[in-house]
Amino acid sequence: MSNKIIWVSILQGWSMLLVVIGHIMLTNIFQNEATPVTAFIEKTIYSFHMPLFMFISGFLFYHTKLEKNKDYITTIKDKSKRLLIPFCFFTIACLLLKYAFNPLMKRPVELSFNYIINSFLYPASNPLGELWFISTLFILFLFMPVYKYALANKIRTGICWIICLSVFVFFPDNIDLLCISRVGYYAIYFFSGILFFKFAYYKYLENKTVFFVSALLFFTLTILSVPKIFLSFSGILFSICLCLQLAKYIPTLFGSFRDYTFQIFLLGIFFQMAVRFAYLKVNIESLYILFYIGSILVALYIPTFMAIQIKKIKVPIIRLFFGL
């Protein structure tokens, strides 16, 4: 992002840290009762971390494209290179890698025409399941003319937000083709991110009192049983308030990796899988916390190191494979 906004950069680093922690699962059991502390962390993170990612994507899209009135065709070409080339590359690469280690995989793969085609048409069943996010985000970008139309006046803006909310509530949740159901689910967060930046709502969240209120609200809703959307938005609000405060005192926070969040998203899971295999092989419970911290570090910093090295390569297509 040109003319980087410090608190937004910290927020990107924070959101990526949440994703990395959410992908650990050393025991191969999500929210394992045998590890209650990390199970609670996983539960808390999964209540809002992907809505937060979509929210950030929305207000970055507004800041870099909509606010500057970028051309639709140019924008989609740019997003295609940025998202679809890595999607295709990592789908094939992960398919081949998993096939080589099929006996060790929780989700074995097969080398067949139908399987490969389905990996693209149904991204949630992709050999690298996390790629559903890329497919969903790209489709949301395709609605750029709708966002421009909606932002023309406040009545249209309000109607569009209500439509997104209605889709969230009523849209079928079982349409896996091209992640269409997920597009419907996350549109409310993406469009809310657009509005958050357009109307500069962050200006009302910069004081400490708002931060403490947002923290209290989020942790209260985490304990209570409330609809997911309220918990997600409270987590987003808390994250923004937190990063606004952190930007005042530690502006370089997450600076060692926050410029490479997309590369961490693409590559980090592979190194976390290696740590998971190592832990299951060692099978010593007293080393759990050591492997847990190690999983975070390798997922953040090996992809960051790789991205820095790949940026030096003179062949553009190789950089595009890794979203650079």
Q: Annotate the chain with three-state secondary structure.
A: CCCCCHHHHHHHHHHHHHHHHHCCCCCCCCCCCCCHHHHHHHHHHHCCHHHHHHHHHHHHHHHHHHCCCCCHHHHHHHHHHHHHHHHHHHHHHHHHHHHHCHHHCCCCCCCCHHHHHHHHHCHHHCCCHHHHHHHHHHHHHHCHHHHHHHCCCHHHHHHHHHHHHHHHHHCCCCCCHHHHHHHHHHHHHHHHHHHHHHCCHHHHCCCHHHHHHHHHHHHHHHHCCCCHHHHHHHHHHHHHHHHHHHHHHCCCCCCCCHHHHHHHHHHHHHHHHHHHHHHHHHCCHHHHHHHHHHHHHHHHHHHHHHHHHHCCCCCHHHHHHCCC
| The one-letter amino acid at 147 | Y
Contact 187, 170 (CB under 8 A): no
Q: pTM of the prediction?
A: 0.93
Residues 56-92: tens digit of each pLDDT:
999 999 999 999 999 999 999 999 999 999 999 999 9
Tell me the CA distances in angstroms from 112 to 92, 95, 221, one per residue in order.
12, 11, 46
Residue with tokens 């740590």: 275
Residue 129: its pLDDT value, please? 85
Residue 2: its pLDDT value, please? 41
Once rounded to an integer, what is the mean pLDDT over residues 264-292? 92
Residues 1-12: tens digit of each pLDDT:
344 789 999 999
| The one-letter amino acid at 143 | F
Q: Flag whether pLDDT at 107 surpasses 80.
A: no
Asked which of 35-39, 194-198, 260-264 is least confident by mean pLDDT, the reply is: 35-39
In the predicted model, what is the mean pLDDT of the chain? 92
